[in-house]
Amino acid sequence: MDRQQQQQHPPHDSAGDAIGIGQLAALIWQAKGYAVAIALLGVILAALVLAAQSTGGLSRDSAVGYIELTAISNNAYPNGARFSPVDLTDPQTLAHLRNTLSLPPELRLAEALSVEYGHPATAAMRRQRDRTLAEAQDDATPIADLRSLRTRYQARVDAMSRSALKIRLNLANLDIDESTARAIVDQLPASWQAVYNTRYQILLPPAITRLDRITVSQDFDQGSAPLAADRYLRQARRTLQAINKDTRLSSVTARNGATASELIDELDRFRQLFFDPFLAAQVSDETNTLGQIFLTDLVAERRRLQTLLDETTRAIDTVAGMRRDANELPANGPPADRSEGQPTLSLSDEGLDSVIDLAQQSSMQDYLIRLFDRRLALTEDISSIQTRIEKLTDEQSIDRLTQSGMAEVIGKRFAAYEQQVTSLATAAEAQAQRQTARLYETLRSADTVQSLLPAPRQAGVMLGLSAVLRALLGLFGGILMPMIRPRG
């Protein structure tokens, strides 16, 4: 009985099931393929995730803020100068920012800061547009109406996007804390406004800011003083006209209470009765070299303006002919041959550059309107120069102011008008500062955005750990698979 049981249940040989070191090494060697394959797969997957996040424009950490452009219209400052988001990263602006926040000079702000058009509400408007278009399609709205609806929404999205700026500070390579990063983003618009107000005077038209560049000697017996006074009076008239046309500044007055329009009338009478005849006497004197050069320059300027006027007239004829041909094209077939006498466009380098600049900025209709405006302005300038030349060579005007002592009288009158114009221009600048106190308003204060993309060093550690863990996983898998495989 015992022998039968021993035959049916042989004793367990534990030594036969035990795995020796040699067998373990053999199993590991056999599993090397699994380890290498899974490790490579882990590295590839990690690299793909990091690459996808990188191409998506993400950064490790960034401080982001939004401002609304309250004084920028049609991509231009109040004085008409061109505006660009890059202005906020101007070297002068960044220098002001460093001084204000006491930032270290080695901090690479220019590389870390980016400013672009953007509004935080555009995403919500795009979602609303998509919902509205989807509902319109479900209601079987005609295609033409759908296109019109899409165009209107796109125009609103574009207008909203260009009404604000998105300021981003990338912290990947900056050794600063989050509070400093937020302070930089919040202070940048203030530094931009301070620099561009004081250094570039973007709140006032150029006609106002150019006035202080002209210096006039009070001794009108000198040959150069009357010529400098002539330049000042012409610029002063432009300044007063600019102030009078600006709705922000039309109410300002000089020290004596005169408005810009009243000072224009006073300056015109002063020129007509006193200054122009006196200047004519100076210019007509053949011993006055500066006066003779001045008169020669006036004649040359008149010829230059006349050349530009002729070129502008030819350009108008050419564009008008192109529009006429476009309107007369038949429904089918090529356009009719041009007539032999049709005007052609032939311009100098200066005129051609100006025409190309206008053509790039507007459509043909707007281009034609600009050409007409330019021709009118050139005609007025030529007429003004011709009138001045006639006055300077009028013998009767010269004879009226040949008596001695007149230079002193005119000098005193000129000094009085100079003070009034200066006081009015100063008051206009102060008024512009009050009316346009800020170029922007804060839409969203700076906040630190955490993204999934790690720093470069952390990314390398992630790839290495992924490879090691995947290799171990593949190794154990390769060892266990032969052990759990059922025996045949």
For 373-416, how does the pLDDT look when each residue is reduced to its tens digit (9 = 90+)? Answer: 888 888 888 887 777 667 666 555 445 444 456 777 788 888 88
Assess whether pLDDT exceeds 70 at residue 463.
no
Is residue 277 a part of any domain in this protein? yes
The per-residue pLDDT for 363 is: 60
CA gap 316, 379 in Å, rounded? 14
The per-residue pLDDT for 56 is: 47
Task: Answer whether 223's CB lies under 8 Å from 122's CB.
Answer: no
pLDDT, average across residues 137-157: 87
The per-residue pLDDT for 340 is: 45
Number of domains within the chain = 1
Is residue 126 a part of any domain in this protein? no
Maximum mean pLDDT: which of 52-61, 251-260, 332-341: 251-260
The per-residue pLDDT for 86 is: 92
Letter for the amino acid at 168? Answer: R
Pairing, β 61-69 against β 440-450: antiparallel
Task: Answer whether 367's CB lies under 8 Å from 359's CB.
Answer: yes
Is residue 482 a part of any domain in this protein? no
User: Rounded mean pLDDT of the chain?
Assistant: 74
Task: Out of 49-53, 122-126, 179-183, pick the least confident.
Answer: 49-53
pLDDT in tens, 71-87: 888 888 887 788 999 99
CA gap 297, 90 in Å, rounded? 39
Is residue 400 a part of any domain in this protein? yes
The per-residue pLDDT for 274 is: 79
The per-residue pLDDT for 337 is: 46
Maximum mean pLDDT: which of 59-73, 183-197, 297-311: 183-197
Is residue 7 a part of any domain in this protein? no
Assess whether pLDDT exceeds 60 at residue 208.
yes
Is residue 35 a part of any domain in this protein? no
**How many Cα neighbours within 13 Å face the side chain of 236?**
31
The per-residue pLDDT for 239 is: 87
pLDDT, average across residues 208-227: 67
Is residue 394 a part of any domain in this protein? yes
pLDDT, average across residues 244-267: 87
Assess whether pLDDT exceeds 90 at residue 139.
no
Assess whether pLDDT exceeds 80 at residue 100.
yes
Q: What are the CA-CA distances from residue 9 to residues 5, 170, 309 (Å)?
A: 6, 75, 121
**Which residue range(s) make up the domain with 295?**
207-324+344-435
Maximum mean pLDDT: which of 156-160, 291-295, 322-326, 462-466: 156-160
Task: Out of 174-183, 281-290, 346-355, pick the least confident.
Answer: 346-355
Maximum mean pLDDT: which of 21-30, 146-155, 241-250: 146-155
The per-residue pLDDT for 356 is: 52
